[in-house]
Structure 1
Amino acid sequence: MKLRQLVYFNEVIDQDFNISAAAQALFTSQPGVSRQLQALADELGVDLFTHHGKRLIGLTEPGQEIAVLVARVIQDVQRIEEVADSHVNAERGGLVVVATRHAASTRLRDTMMRFCEAMPALRVRVFEEEPRNASAMLRAGDADIGILTEPSERDPELAYFPIETWRLLLVVPKDHPLSCGAEVSLETLGRYQICSYERTAHSRRIVEDAFRAAHMTAPIAHALGSSAMILQYVERGIGVGIVGEASFEPESHPNLRGIRVDHLFRSMTTDVVLPRKARLRKPVCGFLDVLAPDLNCVMIANALAA
């Protein structure tokens, strides 16, 4: 039998026998989970689950006994990795994290604060890069962890784990006509100069695509390098801004108002990206525990090996 089969079996139990939910948690397909469960049952020569039609509803008697042993095996695998990682020297214990602009200024920023408090002796280096450069660093082994916003191309040498969905926000001065409370349309927004990110930013392409789909040209007059610069331009009345929702803190900008525009621009996801060939060292798992507690290192290791 294979460790992957045991991980899948354990996850199906944890997900109340919902194969679809287990597949989502394992970052794999529902048929893939079903195949691994069937292969495990065939190899053991016993039925593991009770059924109602095609739906799993519980464990058989041997399935219950096996489930206890499988849980122990998975715990022991984690302990084995911890023992090995405890002997990794200090130099190899460092971490290199590469992130796209939005992730670096929001999710990663907060994670770094908490992680440095939890593991002050561990050296962590952070690089902000465009998705293509970030992927190249991960492939080459120059970075351990990537935190990227919707890479346009999925590299087969890398594994992607969604951790966050986020939206764009329209930001205007409080006395601006768009702050009246009425829902903003593309036609109305198109009358104003927009301050947005640089041409290479994924969120800017989302804005341009929405206008293009409506047979309009996005009135982006100012392409700026950061959310902070966009907000400064808006505060000075140079235009209206479109930024990542988490980048706007109302208490820091009392003269500005954020307006939801998720009916105009689709939401985006942020992914943790890892090299498939890399071993999950203890510092990597520790960092991911802070960044995305829902990500389980055993499940990640299984997905990397798939």
Structure 2
Amino acid sequence: MTLKLVELRSVAAIVASNFSVTKAAATLFATQPGLSRHVADVEKALGVEIFVRNKNRFVALSPAGQALVPLIEQLLARVSDLHTVAARYVSGECGRLCIATSQTHARYLLPSVIERFIAEFPLVELQLHQGNQSQISEWIASGEADISLSVPLADISADVELRKFGTLDRVLVAPVDHPILQKTPVSISDIAALPLITYDKHFFAHDQIMNTFDAQMLKPRIALTTQDTDIMKTYVKCGLGIAIVVRPAFSEDADEGLAAIDVSHLFPPVEMYLGLRKDVLLSPHARRFVELVAPAVLD
């Protein structure tokens, strides 16, 4: 005979009510005959008497009951834990959220968002996957990532919807005493004449920057390519060249020894997109993350 949770709850309620079936029935919003039947079913299933009886009244726990009731109470507590944990996942309080993004977005745009998100959802495991366009496209299309945050993605799956939420202007970064900083406005030919530290060819920024030179029939002097904006600035500080980065990637406080000038008149802005899978309903915590990044995207 299979034990039922409702039967075990009846046993526990009778014990908690000091063996009063009347009080236990009121606590459970049940009938007294129903509770008595539950006790009989549990005892039949286990093959032992749980309660000592006096004229059909429960007056104490039998030796078997003394051993079994703590186990019953522990079991019911664990069942309650199941509901509690499940409710946390349903509400978004718990879970996992994977964001596929670029190094630039992860380093310069997301820290304040992630700080707020973790404060609101401390039990959610947040993962950042950083990569280039192809990697980000693959992660969001396969479902490995829940959300993508990036520049426009190439060869994106039909199952993924991209929603534009903003743009970023570019600046030229150079050592504070570099003559290029005195040119206002700086021209594309001024930049082409200097050693350039830029992104690896697998990154969208590389193509966009190179296309600007190509449109003017100019060939830049590439000194170094890398996948990391911070590395670019490190070598600019070493005097190996200049760099073109998005505006949030430069900070006067953090980038001591460097200075930046606006080049938005030369290079197109970087468009930013959120990628969401069309066939997946956003969890509450994923929806909140999107709200923190770009509230208008969910309108």
TM-score by length of 2: 0.67
How big is each residue's C-alpha offset from its partner over 1:149-171, in whole Å with a ceiling of 9 and x where there is no partner? 12134432111111220022101
How big is each residue's C-alpha offset from its partner over 1:209-252, in whole Å with a ceiling of 9 and x where there is no partner? 01111111122220022111111111111111111211110112
Question: CA separation of 1:178/1:90 partners in 2, compared to 1, >3 Å: closer, same or farther?
Answer: closer
Work out the CA distance in 1 between the residues paired with 2:290 and 2:125: 15
Work out the CA distance in 1 between the residues paired with 2:251 and 2:214: 30
Give unmatched runs, 5+ long, in structure 1: 1-83, 300-306
Work out the CA distance in 2 between the residues paired with 1:269 and 1:152: 13
Tell me if structure 2 keeps the 8 A contact 1:159–1:275: yes
| Cα RMSD for the two superposed structures | 2.1
- The alpha-carbon deviation at position 115 of structure 1 amounts to 0.8
Question: CA separation of 1:208/1:92 partners in 2, compared to 1, >3 Å: closer, same or farther?
Answer: same
Aligned equivalent of 2:127 = 125
Q: 2:196 aligns with which of 182, 190, 194?
A: 194
Tell me if structure 2 keeps the 8 A contact 1:145–1:274: yes
The amino acid across from 1:98 in the alignment is A
- The alpha-carbon deviation at position 89 of structure 1 amounts to 8.9
Tell me if structure 2 keeps the 8 A contact 1:227–1:243: yes
How big is each residue's C-alpha offset from its partner over 1:105-163, in whole Å with a ceiling of 9 and x where there is no partner? 22223211111112111111111022222222222211111111121344321111112
Q: 2:207 aligns with which of 205, 208, 215?
A: 205
Deviation >4 Å, runs of 4+: 84-87, 89-92
Work out the CA distance in 2 between the residues paired with 1:238 and 1:221: 7
Question: CA separation of 1:121/1:92 partners in 2, compared to 1, >3 Å: closer, same or farther?
Answer: closer
The 3-state SS of whatever aligns with 1:290 is helix
Matches within 5 A, 1:151-166: 151-166=153-168
Aligned equivalent of 1:295 = 297
Question: CA separation of 1:178/1:195 partners in 2, compared to 1, >3 Å: closer, same or farther?
Answer: same
TM-score by length of 1: 0.65
Work out the CA distance in 2 between the residues paired with 1:100 and 1:234: 21
Tell me if structure 1 keeps the 8 A contact 2:151–2:271: yes
Single out whichever of 99-108 and 85-94 deviates more from structure 2.
Answer: 85-94
Aligned equivalent of 2:136 = 134
- The alpha-carbon deviation at position 90 of structure 1 amounts to 8.2
Q: How many residues align?
A: 214
Work out the CA distance in 2 between the residues paired with 1:231 and 1:111: 24
Work out the CA distance in 1 between the residues paired with 2:276 and 2:92: 21
The amino acid across from 1:275 in the alignment is R
- The alpha-carbon deviation at position 180 of structure 1 amounts to 1.1
Percent identity, aligned pairs only?
22
Aligned equivalent of 1:94 = 96
Work out the CA distance in 2 between the residues paired with 1:90 and 1:119: 8
Question: CA separation of 1:152/1:141 partners in 2, compared to 1, >3 Å: closer, same or farther?
Answer: closer
- The alpha-carbon deviation at position 174 of structure 1 amounts to 1.7
Aligned equivalent of 1:143 = 145
The amino acid across from 1:243 in the alignment is V
Matched, 1:171 2:173: yes
Matches within 5 A, 1:1-306: 88=90, 93-296=95-298, 299=299
